[in-house]
Amino acid sequence: GAVVSQHPSWVICKSGTSVKIECRSLDFQATTMFWYRQFPKQSLMLMATSNEGSKATYEQGVEKDKFLINHASLTLSTLTVTSAHPEDSSFYICSARDLGDSSYEQYFGPGTRLTVT
Amino acid sequence: AQRVTQPEKLLSVFKGAPVELKCNYSYSGSPELFWYVQYSRQRLQLLLRHISRESIKGFTADLNKGETSFHLKKPFAQEEDSAMYYCALSVEGSNYKLTFGKGTLLTVNP
């Protein structure tokens, strides 16, 4: 149980275009999902906390107008990278908390590799 | 703000040798501590958390509040333990956010 999927697993886009990444909790409900960015051989950097039915909370230094987050249901959060540039190329990972779990555990998706040309 | 430090970027041991991956944290209150593992080309997954006080795949970790440490240990390393290990913490009132250390790449040689 507690599986999180991401789609697509990898995407290549041209500079200036927008890309949407989906994060789904497959067998549990998640009021809270998290979006991370991971650079090669580096740790995960939290970008934002996605809350179902309300606005996302962004970490300091993350442009909310560039990284649009929508959490419209208890099983789906989306991250849209708007007007992508080569420096946005990275590995984006989402995680989710089980609504019915009182612990702090998060379940991670497999990640999405974004390459902006 | 809370911080997690993993001083070793790389750690290499031989099969059967003991292994200890270090993790120190800075937080004035009582955090919840985790170890996550990422095997090659796989997603991040929870290895263990301090509140459950369990042993997973032979690994244990004890929270030492005096030293603000949560080191991960295994008495006899196996080749399949080779992976990236991340220490993380979460604190009450943070909306369950995890703060990760930079990770330690463990290589277990035959």
For chain B, domain boundaries: 3-109
Using the beta-carbon criterion (under 8 Å), do A109 and B43 form an inter-chain contact?
Answer: yes
Using the beta-carbon criterion (under 8 Å), do B49 and A105 form an inter-chain contact?
Answer: yes
* Token duo for residue A39: 């650079």
Chain A closest CA to B6's CA: distance in Å?
A: 11
Q: How far is the C-alpha of B60 from the C-alpha of B53, rounded, in Å?
A: 8
Report whether pLDDT(B89) > 80: yes
Mean pLDDT of A35-64: 89
Chain B closest CA to A83's CA: distance in Å?
A: 28
Chain A residues within an 8 Å CB radius of B43: 93, 108-111
Give the pairing type, strands A112-116 and A10-13: parallel
Q: Which CATH architecture has domain B3-109?
A: Sandwich (2.60)
pLDDT in tens, A26-39: 989 988 999 999 98
Q: Give chain A's mean pLDDT.
A: 91
DSSP string computed for B13-72: EETTS-EEE--EEE-SS--EEEEEEE-TTS--EEEEETTT---BTTBEE--BTTTTB--E
Residue A1: pLDDT band (50, 70, 90) is low
Mean pLDDT of A87-101: 91
